[in-house]
Chain A
Amino acid sequence: MLKFIAKRFAQGVLVLLAIYALTFFLVAMTPGSPFSGERAIRPEILAQIEAHYGYDRPFFERFWTSLSNAVRGEFGPSAVYANRSVTEIISESFPVSLKLGSLSLLLALLIGIPTGVIAAVKRNTLLDYVPMSTAMVGICLPTFVMGPLLALVFGLMLNLLPVSGWYGPRYMVLPAATLGLYYAAYFARLTRGGMLEMLNQDFVRTARAKGVPESTIVWKHCLKGGLIPAITFLGPALAGIISGSFVVETIFQIPGLGQWFVRGALNRDDFLILGLTVLFAALIVVMNLLADIAHVLLNPRLKYE
């Protein structure tokens, strides 16, 4: 087991390095400068600013400097937000996104998994179609429609919940619901698929023939295996929920990480983009590793694949 983790970890580090290089090149290639604005800058001033941030150095020197800094955890200042460093920006917004993401994921699991189980057990009946259809709403309407719709109904019309800001638990409900519904659909489908696969196994037929009660079959025997696809997805889902929540953060005014992803890209804020990319990739690598471990624990045969 330990060897397995160590191997994956080493692979993860390689992945991070490769990603860093890839990101650096792509950003350098993209047109647009972080310093351009509606008012033209005089070339001399632009040269000064660029020199300050190291843009005047040759390409590989820049790459090497930024990489060695990154390894030490210093991603530099934001090119656009004058006196904030990338590390500051990330450390301020990451906890917020984490909270929002975790709550949404929890909601998604609470809604998605039971729905998937019911649908699988009651396959091709109304109890399959109706819950699955309801769960699917999450991925059939884009979040930038779902969000304002929920805000309109629960916030403006019924005046039950706040529609913007992040000042306490009540502020988390609508955004978490918007995001959660999206992932609930995926979990529902994955669980349904996983459960179906388990339910079609031979040992299930044997158990039924032996007279084991259906609920025991479903909950004790099939659930563990049935949850595998959902658990595998949990990793990327958590990582995705943190970067992919730009829409929700914009609509509900949440100071999370998602906004910085988009803003960094749109502003061509090189250092910020690099910092965020490394963070995201690291999250994915870690999450995948955890998912793999969980996978192996649930199904020891996989270790040898």
Chain B
Amino acid sequence: MTRSAEAVLGAEEDVRRPLEPIEVEEGASLWGDAWHRLKRNRLALFSLFTFIAIVLFCVVGPYFSSWDGEQQDLIRGASAPSADHWFGTDTLGRDLMVRTMEGGRISLLVGLVATIVALLIGVVYGATAGYVGGRVDAAMMRFVDILYALPFTIFVILLMVAFGRSLWLMFVAIGCVEWLSMARIVRSGVIALRRQEFIEAAVSLGYSHRRIIFRHLIPNVIGPVIVIATLTVPAVMLLEAFLSFLGLGVQPPNASWGVLINEGQQNMEIFPWLLIFPAFFFALTLFSLNFLGDGLRDALDPKSARD
């Protein structure tokens, strides 16, 4: 996109603001342009900082607290926020702030790892399908269609039951549910790219297929992949919360936000802080990630807005 066109668009979108001076960037790259556009989306920027703040809170926070997430205080039981316990305590007397922070670690970890699993499977699968094309592509996508048509509730439950206890297996199970849309997006991206000249050049140069896929195609679809990854993390976290509702999620004494929220919602009227704090952080995280993802999508390729 030429700079002049960008200036024209900018002028159209922000009719009431005076024309901002056009910044001259040396060697503006795709990423530079993207960052620039992202900065203008104030909600997305706010979301980014919020998310970073939450991550810091959860990862670093417990080190600053004098309480341990597993320390029970049965005499005290559930108590409202106070100077000792800023977020209050849960029904077993455990400090809620530390539980929230540690719960956040786990929820974020689940989100991250499951998304990475989904990403790895989906990207490779989709890129291969898109690149190879023809019958193989059709067969691969049929397989994706089949998986799409499975009622995930039943399947996640059966998978969780069959492979039960380990946290890592849960990541994999969730990742296995989420890779499908990733594969589809990557595939369409690769199909579009495949026709471009630089790929034809690579083919005629005799590069191996693997090299073309991994060195040339995949890096160029990273944009939409990042967007969808950012949007998958909250979906995964919601899925984990649902599993906690069913009792199939994270095992005690560890707790994720899903577990904390589930406990909190059962006692909403009498111990509202048990719900408010974890739910607030959970919602805020999902919120930020969703808007960040939307913002990234707008920034990286404002023309393509398909899911």
Contact = CB atoms under 8 A, between A and B. Distances in A.
Contact of B151 (A139, A148, A189, A261): A261
Interface string B154-167: 11011101100000
Contacts of B149: 15-16, 19, 280-281, 284-285
Contacts of A189: 290, 294, 307
B307 A243 contact: no
Interface stretch (B19-27, B86-94, B123-131, B140-148): B140-148
Interface string A176-204: 00000000000001101110110010000
Interface in B75-122: none
B56 interface: no
Given A140-B286, A142-B258, A197-B306, A26 B155 contact: yes
A14 B150 CA distance: 14
Contacts of A232: 307
A293 interface: no
B151 A243 contact: yes
A124 B40 contact: yes
Contacts of A51: none
Q: Determine the interface band of chain A, counting residues with CB < 8 A from chain B.
A: 35 or more
B189 to A, nearest CB: 14
Contacts of B275: 145
A243 B153 contact: yes
A141 B153 contact: no
B305 A15 contact: no
Interface stretch (A70-78, A94-102, A262-270): A262-270
Interface string A251-275: 0000000100110111000000100
B148 A284 contact: yes
A233 B153 CA distance: 19
Interface in B27-86: 40-43
B211 interface: no
Contact of B242 (A18, A142, A243, A266): A142
A30 B163 CA distance: 9
Contact of A148 (B242, B246, B258, B268): B268
B136 interface: no
A27 interface: yes
B279 interface: yes
A152 B13 CA distance: 43
Nearest to A157: B269
Contacts of B238: 139, 142
Interface stretch (B200-208, B214-222, B296-304): B296-304
Contact of B262 (A26, A144, A194, A229): A144
Interface string A156-174: 1000000000000000000
A288 B305 CA distance: 20
A80 B74 CA distance: 40
B153 A193 contact: no
A-B complex: 5 closest residue pairs judged by Cβ atoms: A193-B305, A265-B157, A280-B151, A281-B149, A140-B283
17 contacts: A22-B146, A123-B13, A124-B43, A137-B283, A140-B290, A141-B283, A144-B241, A144-B242, A144-B262, A145-B265, A145-B275, A200-B302, A233-B307, A261-B153, A261-B154, A262-B153, A280-B150
Interface of A: 11, 14-16, 18-19, 22-23, 26-27, 29-32, 123-124, 128-129, 132-133, 136-137, 139-142, 144-145, 148-149, 152, 156, 189-190, 192-194, 196-197, 200, 208, 229, 232-233, 236, 243-244, 246-247, 258, 261-262, 264-266, 273, 276-277, 280-281, 284-285, 288
Given A19-B150, A149-B268, A266-B157, 12 more contacts: A19-B149, A32-B161, A123-B13, A124-B43, A133-B291, A145-B275, A148-B268, A194-B305, A197-B304, A200-B302, A281-B149, A281-B150
